[in-house]
Amino acid sequence: MTATSSTPSAPPAISVIGTGYLGATHAAAMAELGFTVTGADTDPAKVDALARGDVPFYEPGLPELLRRHTETARLSFTSSISEAVAAADVHFICVGTPQQRGSNAADLSAVEAATLAVARAMTHDGLIVGKSTVPMGTAARLRTLAQAAAPDGVHVDLVWNPEFLREGKAVEDTLHPDRIVLGSVAGADLGPLLEIYATPLGAGTPLIRCDLPTAELVKVSANAFLATKISFINAIAEVCESAGADVAVLADALGHDARIGRQFLDAGLGFGGGCLPKDIRALAHRAGELGAGRAAALLQQVDEINMAQRQRVIDTVLQVCGGSVLNRRIGVLGAAFKPLTDDVRDSPALNVAAALHLRGAQVVVFDPQARATAQRQFPTLTFGGSVTEAVTDADAVLVLTEWNEFTSMDPAALAALVSSPTVVDARHCLDAERWRAAGWQVHGLAPAGHAPAPLRAADALTPV
């Protein structure tokens, strides 16, 4: 691979197409690894913010990384894909693949447009690297389209390098990944990518080389497995409640089995966000297209169990409020789908808050980071600026996102603010005995058709 502006021994220059959550993190991390990086996005406002060193979303550690490298010539941003591509040898595609409207299939329009834009703008031989989450078969099709769209005399190849970032820990996951997957056709030159990832590979990160469909399937399979663990423990939690068993102790016992592990075995409100829900639906859809009916049926059940958890929280609140929340004041703690992020995409917490609002409750929501993003999505909800503002005069307090700020609250101080000291801990993250000793009625999630059961002390575990 050669570039008009570099010598054969020069490290590959990088372009990152799409500077949202994934792209901005990847661009900053690649600069941290020592490469010259140009990020490109069609949103000029986002480009301007990133060029100033401002991150338009919450991700711990990213603002410092971004500012450090935008202050030098190592990291820059542009709204011109042609400009970014001309300056680079390796081009990472980091655009979104949301769920299609009216379908469970993934919307691939952005990833296809980005790939074609890069191929058409290439001025010298280069490598396109897909990081977006796509269904099996997408990469092979995009490789063919890219090679057909490239200018005459320019050689382009495409490999797939799925991302495995956790929101709230994205910088660490990019700089110190637990594995690097490179999917390609036989004979592809992976040298530039091996050079880019030399630091983590040298530190012992496993490298998995595979074909394109396997690389595509790794990411969605990982998310599907994690989602299945969450839905499994939530299904078992309902059995535990009915049988008088303790789901938290059960999860601890299961977690000591190295084949199972403790992570993602916390019963509660369930998963949300921009990845797990849409990825399991897209995988189920694609599995159905390929005739893999058992996989599709399993994933549908996982999805249904997860969505039912939101209704269980709503039913619990209705029961503790005497059957109706009309004109009841409900303090909701949490809007983001998980802590350490301001992401409210498919957030169970925000979904529950909105559903109670529609039932006539006076809902006041507080989240340490997600107030602005939540308010844009649900402008009819009321948002407080503090825990105190959310819970004052509340008939019930709901803990729906397990921020440390919530798990460390002083229950005695809060009891003096509320109308009724009743808390629904939908994440099993509070010290139930401490809250009960301060005069609170502490409730978990009730099985369908049953009265909500107070939490036991052993339920007070912080979920992943």
The pLDDT confidence band at residue 26, using thresholds 50, 70 and 90, is very high
Both 242 and 320 in a single domain?
yes
Tens of pLDDT along 317-376?
999 999 999 999 999 999 999 999 999 999 999 999 999 999 999 999 999 999 999 999
The whole-number pLDDT of residue 281 equals 96
Tens of pLDDT along 96-134?
999 999 999 999 999 999 999 999 999 999 999 999 999
Tens of pLDDT along 398-423?
999 999 999 999 999 999 999 999 99
Measured CA to CA, the distance from residue 260 to residue 393 in angstroms comes to 43
Answer whether residue 217 is part of any domain.
Answer: no
Hey, how many other C-beta atoms are within 10 angstroms of the C-beta on 20? 16
Number of domains the chain is built from? 2
Both 301 and 426 in a single domain?
yes
Answer whether residue 9 is part of any domain.
Answer: no
Both 232 and 206 in a single domain?
no
Both 353 and 387 in a single domain?
yes
The whole-number pLDDT of residue 446 equals 60
Both 348 and 380 in a single domain?
yes
Question: 36 pLDDT exceeds 80?
Answer: yes
Answer whether residue 4 is part of any domain.
Answer: no
Question: 265 pLDDT exceeds 80?
Answer: yes
Both 235 and 196 in a single domain?
no
The whole-number pLDDT of residue 365 equals 98
Given 186, 210, 234, the domain boundary residue is: 210
456/353: higher pLDDT: 353
Global pTM?
A: 0.89
HSE-CB of 213 using CA atoms within 13 angstroms: 6
Tens of pLDDT along 221-234?
999 999 999 999 99
Average pLDDT, the chain: 92
Strands 37-40 and 14-17: parallel
Answer whether residue 3 is part of any domain.
Answer: no
| CA 424 vs CA 310, 315, 316, 317, 363: distances in Å | 13, 11, 8, 7, 14
Answer whether residue 261 is part of any domain.
Answer: yes
Given 210, 240, 274, the domain boundary residue is: 210
Both 259 and 197 in a single domain?
no
> Which helix or strand (DSSP H or E) is residue 19 part of?
none
> Average pLDDT, stretch 309-318?
96
The whole-number pLDDT of residue 10 equals 86
Residue 275 appears among annotated catalytic residues: yes
- Catalytic residue chosen out of the listed positions 240, 275, 321, 429: 275
Q: What is the CATH number of the domain that holds 258?
A: 3.40.50.720
Owning domain of residue 132: 14-210
Given 161, 179, 210, the domain boundary residue is: 210
Q: Residue 55 contacts by C-beta under 8 Å, 6 or more apart in sequence?
A: 24, 49, 62, 63, 66
Measured CA to CA, the distance from residue 419 to residue 44 in angstroms comes to 48
Tokens 């609170």 found at: 440
